[in-house]
Structure 1
Amino acid sequence: MLVKEILNKIILNEMTIKELAELYNVSDRTIQSKIKKLGYGWDSKKRIYHYVGEGPELVDVDFSISANKVDAIDILLQNPKDRSRRVYRGFYFDDDVLNIIDRVPKSYKSELVNEALRKVFKEKRLLD
């Protein structure tokens, strides 16, 4: 199911967090944490989840993938984190790559590129 379908089912009381946790064989807390990592906050008065993250919502993503495979890049696209000291370098980007980079606020573009490269370098065992 897509993230938006899951959230709608929860809002309409068609599915509970507990049922969702059983479906994915994880704890209630894990499901709540995954929903929060996707950028959603629970409004207890209205009994709904609403998007509170920054950047594009990931509503059309398969929840099972997003629930188990949210990484630093996904989180950064939603909720940028603090930046560390950096050294400026200029590079040329292809249009398709630049379109993705331009989705995040200007002040977080470097963080996105760093996380994307870090992920690839770790997969290639160039970084620990």
Structure 2
Amino acid sequence: MLVGEMLNMIINKEITINELATMYSVTDQTIQRKIKKLGYEWDKKKSTYKYIGKSHQPLDTDFSTLFRKKQPSNYKRIQIKNKDKKKASYSKDTSDILDVLLVRTKSPPKRVYQGFYLDKDVLSIINSVPKNYKSELVNEALRKVFKEKGLL
């Protein structure tokens, strides 16, 4: 993927830094460091990258060449079911890395953040659960009560 294409996709929110990191098997920070090394800086107010480098913009540079190990360029989506959640993984079978970008690795969120005031006794039970499972606990508890009342 060319640097110019990648930056446009990030700006247009067609791909995230996290998805790029997954694609290249590196961390988010590595992707951000590589973009900065190319001479680009994120402009928070305009939500865009601006070029601050001294030479011409490297828009036609292949981004994958910036990594030490050779990155696979051909992938095929394979669905794996794990506890009713789909996770995408990729194998070298199809023709193009565009397939990876066109096949979104993240589904749109099914959950919406909502804040509530909780009583201390209820909150102490919720806080006794590991951070990653708090939303699941609250959703399942409410779902159980709503099903019992015939609302779901």
Report what 2:100 is aligned to.
Answer: none
> Stretches of 4+ moved more than 6 A in 1?
none
- Cα displacement (A) at 1:11: 0.2
1:35 aligns with 2:35: yes
Query: Where do 5+ consecutive residues of structure 2 fail to align?
Result: 69-152
Report what 1:68 is aligned to.
Answer: 67
Counterpart of 2:5 in structure 1: which amino acid? E
Report what 1:53 is aligned to.
Answer: 53
Greater relative contact order structure (CA < 8 Å, 6+ sep): 1
Quick one: distance in 2 between partners of 1:42 and 1:60?
Answer: 19
Report what 1:10 is aligned to.
Answer: 10
Residues matched between the structures, number: 68
Quick one: distance in 2 between partners of 1:43 and 1:60?
Answer: 21
Report what 1:102 is aligned to.
Answer: none
Counterpart of 1:68 in structure 2: which amino acid? F
Quick one: distance in 1 between partners of 2:23 and 2:12?
Answer: 18
How large is the RMSD of aligned CA atoms in angstroms?
0.9
- Cα displacement (A) at 1:20: 0.5
For residue 45 of structure 2, give the secondary structure of its aligned residue in structure 1. Answer: coil
Quick one: distance in 2 between partners of 1:50 and 1:68?
Answer: 22
Counterpart of 2:33 in structure 1: which amino acid? S
Quick one: distance in 2 between partners of 1:45 and 1:36?
Answer: 18
Query: Where do 5+ consecutive residues of structure 1 fail to align?
Result: 70-128
Q: Deviations over 1:94-121 (max 9, x none)?
A: xxxxxxxxxxxxxxxxxxxxxxxxxxxx
- Higher-Rg member (1/2): 2
Counterpart of 1:11 in structure 2: which amino acid? I
Quick one: distance in 1 between partners of 2:55 and 2:15?
Answer: 27
- Cα displacement (A) at 1:40: 0.1
Q: Mean Cα displacement is larger for which, 30-39 or 52-61? A: 52-61
Quick one: distance in 1 between partners of 2:54 and 2:22?
Answer: 29
- Cα displacement (A) at 1:56: 1.1
Quick one: distance in 2 between partners of 1:64 and 1:50?
Answer: 21
More strand by share: 2
Q: Deviations over 1:24-52 (max 9, x none)?
A: 00000000000000000000111111101
